[in-house]
Amino acid sequence: MKVFFLCFCVCLALPLSYAAPAHHDGIMADEPEDHLHPKGEDHQLDRCKGIEFDAITPDEKGNTFFFKGDHLWKGFTGPAELSGGTFKELDEHSHLDHVDAAFRMHHGDDPNTHDHIFFFLDDKVFSYKNYTLENGYPVDIQQEFPGIPNHLDAAVECPKGECVTDSVLFFKGNEVYHFDIKTKLTKKKVWSHLPNCTSTFRWLEHYYCFHGHNFTRFHPISGEVTGVYPKDARNYFMRCGEGFGHGAGTRKLQCSDIKLNAITTDSKGRAYAFQGSVYMRLDTHREGNHPFLISRQWKEISGAVDAVFSYGDNMYIIQGGQVYIYKSEAHYTLIEGYPKPLKEELGIDGPVDAAFLCANQHIIHIIQGQKMYDIDLMASPRAIKKEMPIPFPKIDAGLCDADGVKVFIGPEYYDYGSPMLLALGKASPQPHKISPEKFGCEQ
């Protein structure tokens, strides 16, 4: 795992704070929140006065652009500037007064379209790579995206796993066009229950329809809306001073404060770290480091977890004497019949301190106090296969990745080449300090 954690709650009674590149401070209970003051924003284009965006898209580095008329904002804070200063060919070709829609093609098998930004203006589409217009563009929308109408309202990518195939969703009024990137086939649906989206945004596997100064989160396949919507974008996607946002009293997290409860990577490569009642994605650093309540992703889990590990397409979450097993789909689904007693599922009594599983293995290593227990997940019934001492009285979390085993104790971690080397170690190796580069905290 090349990208680590994180920021999190030092105490559950206090608000969470963290460091993120040009993003936010605050617990992400449901949506992203930004708590940085905009500086020098264009007087005539003030996001905090209820602007309806024409388009929203991230670039290949994860920076998010918000478009309105011939202006854009780079990121979740900062002043408006002319769009032609960054994407000059848009203005040269079309005397730009607005962008209809935009999206980043970050997924898909075709390297010729990977990590490109597409802009839609009237009946034309522009393709940018590294802020440079691709040769041959602009072209007619129908030439690049057969079956997609002109004068669009919004567009957003939808990778396989979240949609059935690698797709793009195009919006015009209450009509939604699902475009299959590989086959170039289009299916049209009518989502009359969803507001007319003037822009759309995919962020950390969730989909947002912006309308007016509000937004509504929706399911990319069905268009289903769950939760209380619409919500005011000024509370979540920008800082607008008094009367907006929820981050009062936060502070930057110090690396010395970090103490993990669990850390794991699932079968889809999604990496998570858990602390207290929150978690953070570790593999989406281009979208920034953002903590969320655990219950946002795993609805049946309340409070802190003891250990988490992934086996096959399932994620196991251990809390006290119970184990929850979730299918690692686009959004985690609790398997019917769970939670179950830990003793019944794994043949060991809880609580536990840590659990980790190495890639392509079926032996789960569970740590309680100063002992490590090996359990064969292919056995039936499951039971402790081996018991070994470890050179620590107590650890907080453990992880096995391509580099070996990492044992986390407070703001430090220890590297071992394998679980066996951890068990055979008579003395602990030199600890590594959690660094700002890896964990997004401050020294």
> Are the folds of 47-235 and 255-439 the same?
yes
Predicted confidence (pLDDT) per residue in 154-209, tens digit: 999 999 888 999 999 999 999 999 999 999 999 999 999 999 999 999 987 889 99
> Which pLDDT does position 370 carry in this prediction?
95
Give 388's strand partners: 372
H or E segment and range at residue 200 = strand 199-203
**For 59-113, how does the pLDDT look when each residue is reduced to its tens digit (9 = 90+)?**
887 789 999 998 999 888 788 998 888 888 887 765 667 899 999 987 655 555 5
3 state DSSP class of 234: helix
Which among 242, 108, 234, 237 has a CA at the least distance from the CA of 163? 108
Residue 8 to residue 16: CA distance in whole angstroms? 6
* N-term to C-term CA, the chain: 22
In tens digits, the chain (443 residues) has pLDDT values of 444 433 333 332 223 333 333 333 344 445 554 332 333 334 468 888 888 999 999 988 778 999 999 899 988 878 899 888 888 888 776 566 789 999 998 765 555 556 789 999 999 999 999 899 999 999 999 999 999 999 999 999 999 888 999 999 999 999 999 999 999 999 999 999 999 999 999 987 889 999 999 999 999 999 999 889 999 998 888 877 666 654 333 345 677 888 899 999 998 888 898 999 988 888 776 665 667 889 988 999 999 999 999 999 999 999 999 999 999 876 789 999 999 999 999 999 999 999 999 989 999 999 999 999 999 999 999 999 999 999 999 999 999 998 999 999 998 999 999 999 999 887 778 999 877 666 666 77
- Note the pLDDT of residue 27: 45
Residue 77, pLDDT score: 79
Helix (H) or strand (E) holding 425: none
pLDDT at 30: 57
| Predicted pLDDT at 33 | 40
- pLDDT score of 7: 38
Q: What is the C-alpha separation between 221 and 330, in angstroms, rounded?
A: 11
Instruction: Count CA atoms closer than 13 A to 335's CA, side-chain side.
Output: 14
Beta strand extents in 75-115 (DSSP E only): 80-82, 101-105
pTM of the model: 0.68
Rounded CA separation 346/383 (Å): 6
CA distance 263 to 163: 27
Q: What H or E segment, with its residue span, contains residue 347?
A: none
Report the C-alpha gap between 89 and 83 in whole angstroms: 10
Instruction: Give me the residue spans of the domains in the chain.
Output: 47-235, 255-439
What's the CATH architecture for 255-439? 4 Propeller (2.110)
Among the four given CATH numbers 3.50.50.60, 3.40.50.1100, 2.40.50.840, 2.110.10.10, the one describing domain 47-235:
2.110.10.10
Name beta bridge partners: 180. 167
Give the C-alpha separation, 130 to 116, whole Å: 8
Name beta bridge partners: 375.
364, 384
What are the DSSP calls for 50-84, one per residue? T---SEEEE-TTS-EEEEETTEEEESSSS-EEEGG
Q: What average pLDDT is seen over the chain?
A: 83
Give whole-number Cα distances, 70 to 43, 137, 317, in Å.
Answer: 15, 20, 48
